[in-house]
Amino acid sequence: MKIIGMRKLSEEPASCIDESQHDRVIITRHGKAVAVLTGVEGLDLEEVLVASDPDIAERFESARARRAPTRTSAEVRRRLGI
């Protein structure tokens, strides 16, 4: 874990983001922790959202349950007699 001040974050944002891909980076202001920068490179948006908000997983599942069932292309062809 790395600890950096707001000044370094504002002067070198890219290097701070790069560092966060390997380990969490704690951001401080006047010596007090104000944020944690965590890298998410390699994850898709849904994974990031679920990791950052436990309630969102339930909302995703609810939305999926309301969606119409899916069928394979073979099922559609068979059903249409193709």
Query: pTM higher than 0.85 for the full model?
Result: no
68 pLDDT higher than 70: no
According to the model, what pLDDT value does residue 50 have? 79
User: Residue ranges of the alpha helices (H) in the chain?
Assistant: 6-11, 13-20, 45-52, 54-66, 73-80
According to the model, what pLDDT value does residue 47 have? 83
Please report, for the chain, the start and end positions of each structural domain, with discontinuous segments joined by +. Answer: 1-37, 43-68
The 10s digit of each residue's pLDDT in 6-62 is 999 999 999 999 999 999 999 999 999 999 999 999 999 888 887 788 787 777 778
- The CATH number of the structural domain formed by 1-37 is 3.40.1620.10
Q: How far is CA 45 from the centre of its chain?
A: 5
- Measure the CA–CA gap between 2 and 22, rounded to whole angstroms: 10
